[in-house]
Amino acid sequence: MQSKLPNVGTTIFTTMSQLALEHGAINLSQGFPNFMPDQQLIKLAKEAVSSQKNQYAPLAGLPGLRQKLVEKIQRLHNKCYDWESEITITAGATQAIFTAISALVHPKDEVIVFKPAYDCYEPAVELFGGKVRQVQLTAPDYAIPWEKVKDVVSEKTKLIIINTPHNPSGYVWTKDDFKALKAVVKNTSAYILSDEVYEYMVFDGKRHISICEDEELADRSIITCSFGKTYHVTGWKLGYAVAAKPIMAEFRKVHQYNVFCVNHPLQYALSQLLEDSSHYLQLSDFYQNKRDYFLKLVKDSKFNFLPTQGTYFQMADYTGISDLPDTEFCLELIKKHKLAAIPISVFNQKNLQQGFIRFCFAKTDETLEKAAEIINKL
């Protein structure tokens, strides 16, 4: 059979999580919390499935949920979106990203992707005949190399995919980054897909700047967000996309035949919980405490850690421990030491080795303590 994605295999997350299970390893690889979500959310979800909320939702999502989301965006980012025509609830950010790419990318269009990149961007671009132009970020800060970006952006650029806070490095875009982006796209017709799933996990007094805060950039952007990340419910696979009306109209043309609509009762539960902003407003403090606790536990290890700026991932320089390529080092970590992490090279251009692996600290203190015990012995 002729594959449409000949170079795609099993994702590193599946591989590492499976190996972690097989070897009874502590799993700091895949990005999901191993603690319970808010009890109130569970209660609301139970109520919703026990009531009249079990049939199809409206195509774009529940009106109440969309209204609360646009109000929140207005409050936090001072941008006014129309809840009827500019926001759509999706099956996680993954579906929002796939649908956005399918709606915007035509055969031979160029799409710029910053590496290391979350793994669902490029296969979607390839499926729709687009050509990926990679821009490699450099360790240890993984800031955006604007000179390199200028070299690859041209009239062929249809889409630039950005991700702030960035998985895996935790890099958080600054005002200057957005200024530079604005200058780079000025005389092009490029759209921007801004993946902001870690929007509420930004540390050390930094603030998440959404692309929608700049009116000109907002007009050419589609933003993707994830309830899974924000409410510790990655298994619910719910998220949303926000964009100016002409972009959202094209997005919905695909969405209606892709899924038509997404989980109705859980949308209802989330819309009720959104009445209370404290859940997402306290998330940065919650995860900063986790990051700091983890870093305190491993401060005497042979890894080198630069405290992550955002997300629930911590990069670790392992070159003081091993000369192995990062994937082999991670396999050894699982098999010999019973600890699972993610090698960064799998997200890099030509699998570039940078001497870094990624730990997820969205875990209970007990799990972090057990992981630290292993890390400190290496």
**Biggest CA pair distance of the chain:** 59
The least distance separating ligand PLP from the CB of residue 16, rounded to whole angstroms, comes to 13
Tell me which of 29, 88, 167, 354 binds ligand PLP, using CB under 6 A: 167
Q: How far is the CB of 321 from ligand PLP (least distance, A)?
A: 26
Give the nearest residue (CB) to ligand PLP: 92
Q: Site mask, ligand PLP, residues 237-256, x = CB under 6 A?
A: --x-----------------
Q: Which is nearer to ligand PLP, 223 or 374 (CB)?
A: 223
∠ CA 167-327-197 to the nearest 5 degrees? 15
Q: Pick the closer one to ligand PLP by CB: 117 or 218.
A: 117
| Cα 40 to Cα 198, 235, 270, 271, distances in angstroms | 22, 17, 10, 12
Residue 223 contacts residue 194 (beta carbons within 8 Å): yes
For residue 48, what are its two tokens?
């919703």
Out of 17, 164, 226, 354, the only residue in the binding site for ligand PLP (CB under 6 A) is 226
CA dihedral 198→202→206→208, nearest 10 degrees, is 20
Least distance CB 377 / ligand PLP (angstroms): 29
| Binder of ligand PLP out of 81, 114, 118, 171 (CB under 6 A) | 118
Distance CA 323, CA 334 (A): 17
Shortest reach from residue 310's CB to ligand PLP, in Å: 11
- Contact flag: residue 61 with ligand PLP (CB under 6 A): no
| 271 touches ligand PLP (CB under 6 A) | no
Report the residue number, 120 or 152, with the smaller CB distance to ligand PLP: 120
The strand ranges marked E within the chain are: 26-27, 87-90, 110-115, 131-136, 157-163, 191-195, 221-226, 239-243, 313-317, 339-340, 342-343, 356-360
Q: CB-wise, 197 or 262, nearer to ligand PLP?
A: 197
Query: Does position 266 bind ligand PLP by CB under 6 A?
Result: no
165 near ligand PLP, judged by CB under 6 A: no
Contact (Cβ atoms closer than 8 angstroms) between residue 340 and residue 363: no
Contact criterion met (CB below 8 Å) for 236 and 205 = no
Q: Which is nearer to ligand PLP, 297 or 342 (CB)?
A: 342
31 binding ligand PLP? (CB under 6 A): yes
In 3D space, the residue among 61, 342, 77 whose CA is nearest the CA of residue 207 turns out to be: 77
177, 309 Cβ separation under 8 angstroms: no
Judged by CB under 6 A, does residue 170 bind ligand PLP? no
Give whichever of 92 and 343 is closer to ligand PLP, judged by the CB atom: 92
Q: Which is nearer to ligand PLP, 198 or 268 (CB)?
A: 198
Stretch that binds ligand PLP, among 71-79, 90-98, 298-306, 318-326 (CB under 6 A): 90-98
Q: Residues near 359 by Cβ (< 8 Å), separated by ≥ 6?
A: 28, 294, 313, 314, 315, 316, 341, 371
Distance CA 337, CA 137 (A): 30
Binding site for ligand PLP (CB under 6 A): 31, 92-94, 118, 163, 167, 195, 197, 226, 228, 234, 239
